[in-house]
Amino acid sequence: MIPGGGGQPDMQQLLQQAQKMQQDLAEAQQELAESTVDGSSGGGLVKATVNGAGELQGLVIDPKAVDPEDTETLSDLVLAAVRDAVSGAQQLQQQKLGPLAEGLGGGGVPGLPF
């Protein structure tokens, strides 16, 4: 192959870029697994904690939120707190993984068709 001829990418360079992206992705995923995000509802009556992957890690319910005659409201508060925390985790994922995903799909590796 003629150096620089025909616009062919250097395969060694492409391999190194792909390995770097894979390493960066693994590091970002590890950071997410170790991160926590809190969400709440009912003015703080229910608090949920999820990890960066959106998995529920903790749930705190203020005794004032517990009414044996109205468990439906408590269920709604728990659901809202968990959704709030998961939404925060999704934002964190976008911050950590978004640039990497753009690099993979948005022409981040020169010479690759995707």
Q: What is the pLDDT of residues 41-89, one digit of tens each?
A: 999 999 999 998 889 999 999 999 999 999 999 999 999 999 999 999 9
What DSSP state is assigned to residue 70? -
Fold of 32-100: Ybab; Chain: A; (3.30.1310)
Mean pLDDT, rounded, for 7-31: 83
Q: What is the pTM of this model?
A: 0.66
3-state secondary structure string across 14-45: HHHHHHHHHHHHHHHHHHHHHCEEEEEEHHHC
Domain ranges of the chain: 32-100
- So what's the pLDDT on residue 14? 87
Residue 78: which of 63, 88, 65 has the closest Cα? Answer: 65
Residue 109 CB contacts under 8 Å (≥ 6 apart), including other chains: 14, 17, 18, 21, 103
